[in-house]
A and B are shown apart, each in its own frame.
Chain A
């Protein structure tokens, strides 16, 4: 008869195992289905190309085309957060998998973290293809010497973004069947609010400030400022963006933990964790 792990080292090893296992599934799945590979690289690239050509049709300066290319690459992460983080527990429940997670002796946060890390890695391959193809095909200006600084802010943004995704996964689970439609509702409006294709400053201070709660908004604003300076028409000074993103990361991870507990308790109390289609 095996005993329950008690020492910190044992608990840590078990949870790291859960993180690795969940991340592995995500990475393997991301490369297994060829139609998904095409759907997640070629089609977003075409969508991004459309917005580059809108700028070209409007005779806008080349820097604007670069905004669309960067935004197009970042959209891959937002879509991954929506479709593969936020709605994931709902799909898992529908397939009868959620209950298996709940009876394992690992932290639910480990499973979410594995999901997030696997999603980030898999999505990065898509985003890189979209970015590289955009830069190569449209010859947009892209100062490579500024990549390290942008990369730091990018990683911070991803952390906060996937933290938000962890919160949404609990919330969406409670929404049940509406989750599907809610995901759709969160797509284009967030493309607008986060300024994926234009500097978010254009939305005005109030709207842009509220949109800043979505980490990708300020992350993208800061990354554009790092690459293009004043031409990026930044919303907030770069010096403010880094601490704000760090604060969002901490707050969202805390809230994700609380939301997960609430979801689990509520689901158990109402007997909804094993119900399909509701």
Chain B
């Protein structure tokens, strides 16, 4: 009986996530024809890739080793997941609450808002994946970045990417929790947080060049280990002298542990924010500037 209940609950959760993902896709993509949407999806990763390429290859000239560019290219490309998913999930709260004014209807429906949000996050994963796939192809084919692509590497890449993405999604849920209890103009803080992570997790430079206090923060961020593992999987090389001492298995274990901690922390934090928002009557809040 209890198992049936759990089964129905899981089915309802999955259907809610699927519906959330579909709505998210409509919101993200229905304003443009497929070609324009593709341009939109690849513009950002392509631009940042080229900025870094020009900084590394042309500006610094002979002082740069190609390996250094390969490493920052991979870090920058995969960091797009963090930017898109973190901001995307928390922004969905503001859009639904204040622009479309649909959040209150989701709350009166027999579904959990959390499952709907995870669905919205999946859409952002999908749209970011388009940009990342294009940037990786561009890097490999045009910029000559040697990326391993044998079946074993691809399997590892999938595993590491999914493990990291779960952490990113739940961190996005945590930010969405904050969005539930703040006005819409506070989105700049959520957006800025991805910039903080970009700086501190060594996405485009080895964490060795950070001041020592910042290195300590970098070493508690899951993204630091995630990007290091992705670099090792795709190039076989380590980027940071500090992390070079840690073997792949240990890095993987740290990534899994930090991901689980992010999931638990994210769930508890979001639940608390959700209760607070309902208690304060913020579910249909319209801050209007």
Contact = CB atoms under 8 A, between A and B. Distances in A.
- A and B: real partners? yes
A163 to B, nearest CB: 24
B63 A191 contact: no
Contacts of B43: 185, 188-189
B91 to A, nearest CB: 11
Interface string A177-200: 110010011011101100011110
B55 A54 contact: yes
Interface in B61-80: 63-64, 68, 72
Interface string A69-97: 00000000000000000000000000100
Contact of A191 (B47, B206, B288): B47
B147 interface: no
A51 interface: yes
B160 to A, nearest CB: 23
A111 to B, nearest CB: 18
Interface string B5-46: 000000000000000000000000001100000011001100
Given A185-B43, A191-B51, A198-B58, A54 B192 contact: no
Nearest to B57: A202
Interface stretch (A13-21, A36-44, A117-125, A243-251): A36-44
B63 A198 contact: no
B54 interface: yes
Nearest to B240: A57
A238 interface: no
Q: Interface residue tally of chain A, by bracket?
A: 35 or more
B228 to A, nearest CB: 15
Nearest to B203: A50
Given A35-B189, A36-B188, A47 B59 contact: no
B59 A202 contact: yes
Given A198-B54, A198-B59, A35 B185 contact: yes
A185 B38 CA distance: 11
Interface stretch (A58-66, A101-109, A212-220): A58-66
B196 interface: yes
Interface of B: 31-32, 39-40, 43-44, 47-48, 50-52, 54-56, 58-60, 63-64, 68, 72, 185-186, 188-189, 191-192, 195-196, 198-199, 203-206, 209-210, 288
Interface of A: 33, 35-36, 38-40, 42-43, 46-47, 49-51, 53-60, 64, 95, 177-178, 181, 184-185, 187-189, 191-192, 196-199, 202-203, 233
Given A54-B205, A59-B64, 10 more contacts: A33-B185, A42-B192, A46-B195, A51-B55, A53-B209, A55-B60, A58-B64, A184-B44, A185-B39, A188-B51
